Each structure stands twice: as C-alpha cells, then as structure tokens.
Amino acid sequence: MKSPLAVIAIGGNSLILDSKKITVEDQYRAAHETAHHIAALVAAGYRVVITHGNGPQVGFILLRSDLARNVLHQVPLDSCVADTQGALGYQIGQTLSNELKSQNLRKSIATVVTQVLVDKNDPAFSNPTKPIGSFYTEAEAQKHKADSGWVLKEDAGRGWRRVVASPKPLRIVEEDTIRLLLEQDVVVIAVGGGGIPVRENEKGELEGCAAVIDKDLASCLLAKNLKADLFIISTGVDKVAIDFKKPTQRELDQLTVAEAKKYLAEGQFPAGSMGPKIEAAVDFLEHGGKEVIITQPHLLEEAIAGRNGTHLVP
C-alpha cells in the first residue's frame, strides 16, 4: 500500500519575510525555515510534492531586465518563470535535504521545471489584468507599448504597470515525470509560479506565452490528477476568516464545500487574496479530494495534527 500523498503550495512571499529582507541570502534563510516545517510532512510518512509561488522573484528579474535594456536583450516572461523555478527549486530542495538529513531522514529530492498548457483562445488573453513588474510614467508606458507591444494600465494613481493574462491551467506537461518520481519515493518540487505558460501553435507544438497562471489553481490541478490525499495551501494567516479585518471577524476551524461556496458568493473571499485559494480547495474536494488545510508554514505540524489551520472537507 502506497504512503499517502500530500501536495503543499507555498507562496512566493513565504521566501521573503519583509521588504528589508529580499536578497538571495535572505530568501535562502526563509526557505530553510519553511523546509523545517515541510520536513514534518515527510516525517509523518507522506509522499510530498511542493509547489511554490514566484511573484516577487519574477518582479526582480523583470526589473533587472528593464534596467539593463540598453545593454542586453530583455527576458520574456515565460523564461522568467523558468528561471525562478530553477532558482527557487534549488533553494527549497537544498534546505529541505539538509533539514531531512539533520533528522536522519534520507530522501531524494528533485525539482521539475514544469510547463503548464493553457488555451490560446482563453478569454484572459483578450483582457489582461494581472499586474507584473515595475511602475512607469505615462511616457515610459507608451514607449514600452510601442517598442515591446506590452499592455499597460494605470494603477490607482501610483503609475503605469504592465498587465498580462492569467489563463486557466489545462494540463501539466511534465505530469507523467512527476508521477514516476513519486513512485520512486522522491520528494518533488514542481509547478513553480503556477507553471511556465505554454500554448499549442497551428502545428500542435508548444510555445511559451506572456501570462501568469495562478499558483493555487495549477497546484490544485496537479493534486487532483495525482489523486493526492491532502492538499495544503500555505498562506499569511493562521486560519481562513470571514468578515476579515472587521470587528465581527471570525476565524474558521472547519469549512465544508457548501459553506465555502456560500461565503464566496457573499464576497467574503476577495479575488486578489483568499478567493483563488478557496476556489482551488473547493475544486480539489469536488473531484475526490479528502481534505484541504489552509494555514501559515510555521503552523504546519499543528495543522496536520488537527490543532490549527482551517480544514476544508467535502
């Protein structure tokens, strides 16, 4: 009988503790802290797949590229995602390996640079809304629009930002490779940043595209297809709450699919924060998943034991 499988999605902000600690060394230290808690899953007997966000890190690459645009070619967005998958996979994998070794747990760890197929006709491409990269003046924005074909929108009086599509993930290209690694009891790091967005051209060939796939939705797709027993979404709060930041705020220990849908319809979980996480959790549970846990990384051990976090159930 196979060990239970857990897919854990950690945010790109999990590797950046605050705005003053953003260097690679700072991120490495944060990765070590996160790895310490993920090791608890391995110690508990789970096979583990780790997915991660990459928003801040892609922003750094885009800024470097922008600053150097008069010296070097700029970096396409799909390549930025691939770069961060390798770099963050290296950090997470190395720190987790060191942590497991300190606990006398021997596990192979592999990072899979992962492509995720999207529909070239997805409506998101007609209405890009996901802001990425730096703020620009209107003159700079018009130049980028003319030179690079970017879509830029004014952002609440703070300046202009590039916006890209956020299409729905359809298929994880390297899914079979991930499955083979899991069968060999390898801890897998995959689908970083929601995956490298790719589309099929007229010949049926894959091509990268300028888009950002939601990390939690892509992680959910992977968890569903692998038939994971547990889907964990790591975030910046201990528990999911309704009436968030209001005097009537109430944290939830448990949430059923019906309750989650009701609160979503009421607007309790905004699209820019908790909404995609709840939607991913509901999708996982409605496709045979048993449990979703939403909590902070440092509470993972307590959450697995049922003493913390929000537990979503069918």
Q: How many Cα atoms are found within 13 Å in the side-chain-facing hemisphere of 99? A: 22
Q: Would residue 125 count as lying in a domain?
A: no
* Side chain identity, residue 13: N
Q: Give the H or E element holding residue 147.
A: helix 138-148
Which of 133, 35, 282 shows the shortest CA–CA distance to 274?
282
Encoded tokens for 255: 């949430």
Q: Would residue 131 count as lying in a domain?
A: no
- Name residue 231's beta-bridge partners: 7, 292
Residue whose structure tokens are 């888009």: 211
Sign of CA dihedral 92, 93, 95, 100: positive
- Rounded Cα distance between 188 and 89, Å, is 9
Q: What's the CATH code of the domain at 273?
A: 3.40.1160.10
Q: Would residue 63 count as lying in a domain?
A: yes
Q: Would residue 289 count as lying in a domain?
A: yes
**Do residues 24 and 162 lie in contact, with contact meaning Cβ atoms separated by under 8 Å?**
no
Residue 13: predicted pLDDT: 65
pLDDT (tens, 9 = 90+) of the chain, 314 residues, equals 689 999 999 986 677 777 778 888 888 888 888 899 999 999 999 999 999 999 889 989 988 988 898 899 989 999 999 999 999 999 999 999 999 999 999 899 999 999 999 999 999 999 898 888 778 888 988 988 888 788 998 877 778 988 899 999 999 999 999 999 999 999 999 999 999 999 999 999 999 999 999 999 999 999 999 999 999 999 889 999 999 989 999 999 999 999 999 999 999 998 878 998 999 999 999 999 999 999 998 899 999 999 999 999 99
Q: In what order do the strands lie in the sheet with 160-164?
A: 130-136, 160-164, 152-154
Q: Would residue 233 count as lying in a domain?
A: yes
Q: Would residue 157 count as lying in a domain?
A: no
Give the long-range contacts of residues 298-301, CB within 8 A, separation 24 or more. Answer: 298/33, 298/37, 299/238, 300/8, 300/37, 300/38, 300/40, 300/41, 300/232, 300/234, 301/37, 301/40
Q: Would residue 99 count as lying in a domain?
A: yes
Q: Would residue 202 count as lying in a domain?
A: yes
- Rounded Cα distance between 189 and 276, Å, is 21
Q: Catalytic residues, which ones?
A: 12-13, 130, 215, 277
Domain of residue 92, residue span: 5-116+174-313
Looking at the 3D structure of the chain, how many domains does it have? 1
- What pTM did the predictor assign? 0.92
- Name residue 10's beta-bridge partners: 52
